[in-house]
Amino acid sequence: MSTYRVAQVTAPNGTFELVEREMPQPGSGQVRIAVDACGICHSDALFVSGGLPGVSFPEVPGHEIAGRIEELGQGVLERGWQVGDRVAVGWFGGSCGHCRPCREGDFIVCRNLKVPGWAYDGGFGEKVIAPVDALARIPDGLAASDAGPMACAGVTTYNGLRRSSARPGDLVAVLGLGGLGHLGVQYAVAMGFETVGIARGPEKADFAKQLGAHHYVDSTSGTPVAEALQSLGGAKAVLATAGNSEAITATVDGLAHRGELVVIGADTEPLGITPVQLLMSGRVLRGHPSGTAQDVEDTMAFSALHGIRPMTEHVPLERADEAYRKMLSGKARFRMVLTGG
Ligand SMILES: [Zn+2]
Ligand SMILES: [Zn+2]
**Is a pLDDT exceeding 70 seen at residue 333?**
yes
10 and 147 fall within a common domain: yes
Among 122, 156, 325, smallest CA distance to 239 is for 156
Any domain includes 159? no
User: pLDDT tens across 221-271, in order?
Assistant: 999 999 999 999 999 999 999 999 999 999 999 999 999 999 999 888 999
Q: What is the mean pLDDT of the chain?
A: 96
**Is a pLDDT exceeding 60 seen at residue 216?**
yes
Any domain includes 269? yes
181 and 304 fall within a common domain: no
**Is a pLDDT exceeding 90 seen at residue 340?**
no
Any domain includes 23? yes
148 and 224 fall within a common domain: no
Which ligand has the nearest atom to the CA of 104? 2
96 and 195 fall within a common domain: no
- Please give the pLDDT value at position 341: 57
**How wide is the angle at C-alpha 320 spanned by C-alphas 51 and 176, nearest 5°?**
65
Q: What is the span of the domain harbouring residue 57?
A: 3-152+291-339
User: pLDDT tens across 181-205, in order?
Assistant: 999 999 999 999 999 999 999 999 9
**Is a pLDDT exceeding 90 seen at residue 120?**
yes
State how far Cα 266 lies from the chain centre. Answer: 11
134 and 233 fall within a common domain: no
**Distance between Cα 152 and ligand 1 center (Å):** 5
DSSP state of 125: B
Q: What's the mean pLDDT in 149-156?
A: 98
- Please give the pLDDT value at position 51: 86
335-339 and 30-40: which strand pairing? antiparallel
24 and 95 fall within a common domain: yes
Which ligand has the nearest atom to the CA of 92? 1
240 and 260 fall within a common domain: yes
- The CATH number that applies at residue 274 is 3.40.50.720
**Distance between Cα 43 and ligand 1 center (Å):** 5
- The CATH number that applies at residue 13 is 3.90.180.10
204 and 276 fall within a common domain: yes
198 and 217 fall within a common domain: yes
**Distance between Cα 114 and ligand 2 center (Å):** 9
**Distance between Cα 98 and ligand 2 center (Å):** 5
* Portion of the chain with pLDDT greater than 70, in percent: 99
**Distance between Cα 180 and ligand 1 center (Å):** 9
304 and 194 fall within a common domain: no
User: pLDDT tens across 32-68, in order?
Assistant: 999 999 999 999 999 999 988 989 999 999 999 999 9
CA distance 49 to 264: 20
**Distance between Cα 99 and ligand 2 center (Å):** 4
Give residue 247's region: left, alpha or beta (phi > 0; psi -120 to 50): alpha
147 and 184 fall within a common domain: no
Any domain includes 158? no
Q: What is the number of structural domains in the chain?
A: 2
CA distance 268 to 153: 19
Any domain includes 201? yes
- Please give the pLDDT value at position 334: 81
Task: Choose one of 287, 308, 326: the last residue of a domain.
Answer: 287
The residues, ordered by sequence, that sit 6+ positions from 222 with a Cβ below 8 Å of its Cβ are none
Task: Choose one of 266, 287, 308: the last residue of a domain.
Answer: 287
Any domain includes 157? no
What stretches of 194-280 adopt beta strand conformation (E)?
A: 194-199, 215-218, 235-240, 255-263
- Please give the pLDDT value at position 187: 98
112 and 213 fall within a common domain: no
pTM (predicted TM-score): 0.96
Any domain includes 279? yes
CA distance 85 to 237: 37
Any domain includes 333? yes
**Distance between Cα 116 and ligand 1 center (Å):** 10
Task: Choose one of 287, 307, 325: the last residue of a domain.
Answer: 287
